[in-house]
Amino acid sequence: MAYPDIVISADSTSREIAPIAMAIHEAVIGLPVTMRTLNKRGVRIETGRVLDNDYSGPVLEEALKKNSTITTIPKSGDYSGTPIRVTTIKDEKGNAIAAIGVVDIIHSL
């Protein structure tokens, strides 16, 4: 599938960020991946497909708020009880504009 040029902003939609999240999903050998931008909900990807294109989770939101990388086991949300690592994508000024997470279903983190 071909995609137009990809540009990420704080207002990018789930459709616009899905190709990035899918590439990371494939790079981490199929581990679930979640991603959202600062101002828009995002995607949840598992088993090679987008399961939710209106997704947000507590760790994605916390990473955006703190503008940092977080490794934790969430107590709520779709992946409660499963290790997850979330990091931010920053603009040229260092502000968080998006967050992307990998869900460690094999418990390697």
Q: How far out from the chain centre does Cα 73 lie? A: 15
Q: pLDDT tens, 37-96?
A: 999 999 999 999 999 999 999 999 999 999 999 999 998 888 999 999 999 999 999 999
CATH of domain 14-103: 3.30.450.40
Q: What is the pLDDT averaged over residues 20-47?
A: 97
Q: Where are the alpha helices (DSSP H) in the chain?
A: 14-27, 58-66
Q: What is the pLDDT of residue 43?
A: 98
